[in-house]
Structure 1
Amino acid sequence: MNTPLVSLTNAGKSYQQLDALKSVTMHLNQGEVMGLFGHNGAGKTTMMKLILGVISPSQGNVKVMGMAPDSKEAWHCRSKVGYLPENVSFYEQLTGLEVLTYFAKLKGFAKGHAQKHAMALLEQVGITHAMKRPVKTYSKGMRQRLGLAQAFIGEPKLLLLDEPTVGLDPIATGDFYQTVDQLKSTGSSVILCSHVLPGVEQHIDRAMILSTGQLLAMGTLAELRQQAALPVAIKPSGLNGSVSNDSQLSQFLTAKCPDTLWVPEQEKLNVLKQLLSLEGLSDLQVETANLEQVYQHFLSKHEPAGSVTKEKK
């Protein structure tokens, strides 16, 4: 069995009276993309800092590439880790190319190779046209692209991305996810932290949902749907009331949505077969619960609506 690239075992972090992260256990395998979700104060940034070795756990242990990331022995692994913080900040007077070349040198690239690598990354994120302009002239979206380029230096084995699509337009967001897919295909592992859930689900292998420092749920979207027991929405067209007159099918209708059947996952095939046998059926729309609905389900079970705490940074 392959050793996980990242493992947390009952890992927690406390600041005086505040438990920023409470006894979390998780494993990230090579070539896996993990989505990390939760509101502000859920513990996402704390977890990323533990994995980076910027802070040490108050309890339990953290291993990255087989060693504690906060240990002296882990220094040579750090060049294989890419990180994009939530709030990107650069030296304003330097050009984009100078910033990226500087970071490439910090990661061990020789002078000439560092600039060549920086130029390739700037092209990859689509800001070659601005590479000789000072960063202070960059828009928010351009700064975010520069931040992504910085995280991609050296084709990292582990990539930690905190709100990576903030400030990106839809085309740039699509390009970003394409890059994540490419990195995954070359064996890189990614932890992707995002508030923007639509569009994320087809790019992640598993999801973690945190709230107030606690792990609420973890698994593939199919596993989380099963745990949440959220119904499948089936909307038939052209039946002119024959569904409401059928005793077996009408049990899945609600007064709020009289034209949609809300069907448990295990009943889905039987209901579809029944609908297909009815005369007049002209169309069928089937929608399983998406990531956002699954996320809201676990969150609403854990805490009252509107309760948001502030995360210790």
Structure 2
Amino acid sequence: MTPVVHVDRVVKRFGAVEAVRTVSFDLMGGETIALVGHNGAGKTTLMKLIIGLIRPTSGQLRLLGEDPAAGQFAGRKRLGYLPENVSFNAALTGRETLAFYARLKRESAATVGPLLERVGLEQAADRRVGTYSKGMRQRLGLAQALLGSPRVLLLDEPTTGLDPALRQSFYDIVEDLRRGGSCVLLSSHALTELEERAGRVIIMNRGLKVADGSVQDLRGIAELPTRIRLRTREQGIEAAQQWFAGTPCHAINGHTLEISVAQDRKIEVLRRASSVGAPVVDIDVAPPNLDDLYAHFLQDREGASC
């Protein structure tokens, strides 16, 4: 299968600053990819390279088989982009704004109304954008990015300013696009949100790609322990500690015991916790989450560079 985005040993320098350092990856249709990293890690620079707003210093980059910096309209028409900070003409209405971008993309004006409804702006469509809240402007930016049912959708901090209900609606839209074969690249600091919704994670640090794979793949590479919390019967914390004697554990409060175990010992501990006579009334298993993995790979890279 041909990748929709091909990045091969791409370097981008701004004077003495190397913002992207020999990065390579392929993005496929039907994928939702989380691009994560600290501020200055190179995420936004990578997005601008993919869009064609800037050219790589060296290396090769292809968007839908074309050089994005060459400016061919066919490729850009099939691309959607939502920047981190959206800005629109405050004097125009939401409907006028979206109609303007539809004309730029040579899309029918008939698509404007349904898109505004899809992002929850149908009631505010004829209000001036200058009266919109930050969340409403963010939704208008998302509608703009969705024009033309893009095959590649790049979203930089897309849920900033959205309330929980609208965040869920946003991710429903993203999932619909992925199922339809689109590639969605999400850059965000909201790692908890991304963990549940991205099939793949690319972690950037100081311009380098330090990890790339599914959350499960990264857990296997990192080999971080799984946390198992056991709620004991009332006044049963000492009995639980004796029951798990020989296994590193510590009491969190008067009735909860936490055990950190390697992946290959998780089943053994769970069997012991659920066996007859165990002083346990509830079990909570927490594998390493994306926050844990992110911190691990950044620390691992920092250690390697010392």
TM-score by length of 1: 0.90
- Indicate if the aligned counterparts of 1:232 and 1:288 stay in contact, CA closer than 8 A: yes
Displacement of 1:294: 1.2
Say if 2:263 is the partner of 1:269.
no
- Indicate if the aligned counterparts of 1:243 and 1:250 stay in contact, CA closer than 8 A: no
CA–CA separation in structure 2 for the residues paired with 1:270 and 1:259:
16
Q: Which structure 2 segments of 5+ residues have no match?
A: none
Which string of whole-angstrom CA distances, capped at 9 and with x for unpartnered residues, describes residues 140-175 of structure 1? 111000000000001100000000001111111111
CA–CA separation in structure 2 for the residues paired with 1:196 and 1:187:
24
User: Residues 174, 148 of structure 1: CA spacing in aligned structure 2 closer, same or farther, 3 A cutoff?
Assistant: same
Structure 2 residue aligned with 1:224: 218
CA RMSD between the two structures: 1.7
Displacement of 1:92: 1.2
- Indicate if the aligned counterparts of 1:56 and 1:70 stay in contact, CA closer than 8 A: yes
Partner SS state of residue 210, structure 1 = strand
Residue 78 (structure 1) aligned to one of 76, 79, 85: 76
Counting only pairs closer than 5 Å after superposition, residues 123-142 of structure 1 correspond to structure 2 as 123-142=117-136
User: Residue type of the partner of 1:71?
Assistant: A
Structure 2 residue aligned with 1:48: 47
Which string of whole-angstrom CA distances, capped at 9 and with x for unpartnered residues, describes residues 174-233 of structure 1? 110111011111111100000111222121110011111111111100011111211111
CA–CA separation in structure 1 for the residues paired with 2:223 and 2:217:
10
Displacement of 1:64: 1.2
CA–CA separation in structure 2 for the residues paired with 1:237 and 1:13:
52
Structure 2 residue aligned with 1:289: 288
Residue 251 (structure 1) aligned to one of 240, 247, 253: 247
Identity among equivalent positions (%) equals 41
Displacement of 1:256: 7.2
User: Residue type of the partner of 2:142?
Assistant: L
Structure 1 residue aligned with 2:2: 3
Displacement of 1:254: 4.3
Displacement of 1:269: 1.1
Which string of whole-angstrom CA distances, capped at 9 and with x for unpartnered residues, describes residues 104-154 of structure 1? 111112xxx31x211111000101111111111111111000000000001
Structure 2 residue aligned with 1:308: none
Which string of whole-angstrom CA distances, capped at 9 and with x for unpartnered residues, describes residues 251-295 of structure 1? 331477881010111211122122222413321111111111211
Structure 2 residue aligned with 1:179: 173
Structure 2 residue aligned with 1:207: 201
Partner SS state of residue 259, structure 1 = strand
CA–CA separation in structure 2 for the residues paired with 1:269 and 1:250:
16
Partner SS state of residue 19, structure 1 = strand
CA–CA separation in structure 2 for the residues paired with 1:217 and 1:90:
36
Say if 2:34 is the partner of 1:35.
yes
Partner SS state of residue 40, structure 1 = coil
User: Residue type of the partner of 1:250?
Assistant: G
Say if 2:189 is the partner of 1:195.
yes
Partner SS state of residue 282, structure 1 = strand
User: Residue type of the partner of 2:127?
Assistant: R
Structure 2 residue aligned with 1:25: 24
Counting only pairs closer than 5 Å after superposition, residues 55-134 of structure 1 correspond to structure 2 as 55-72=54-71, 74-109=72-107, 113-114=108-109, 116-134=110-128
- Indicate if the aligned counterparts of 2:232 and 2:240 stay in contact, CA closer than 8 A: no
Displacement of 1:243: 4.1
CA–CA separation in structure 1 for the residues paired with 2:250 and 2:22:
41
Q: Which runs of 4+ in 1 moved over 6 A?
A: 255-258
CA–CA separation in structure 1 for the residues paired with 2:9 and 2:272:
48
Partner SS state of residue 200, structure 1 = helix
Partner SS state of residue 198, structure 1 = helix
Structure 1 residue aligned with 2:232: 238
CA–CA separation in structure 2 for the residues paired with 1:251 and 1:22:
43
CA–CA separation in structure 1 for the residues paired with 2:66 and 2:135:
36
CA–CA separation in structure 2 for the residues paired with 1:226 and 1:268:
14
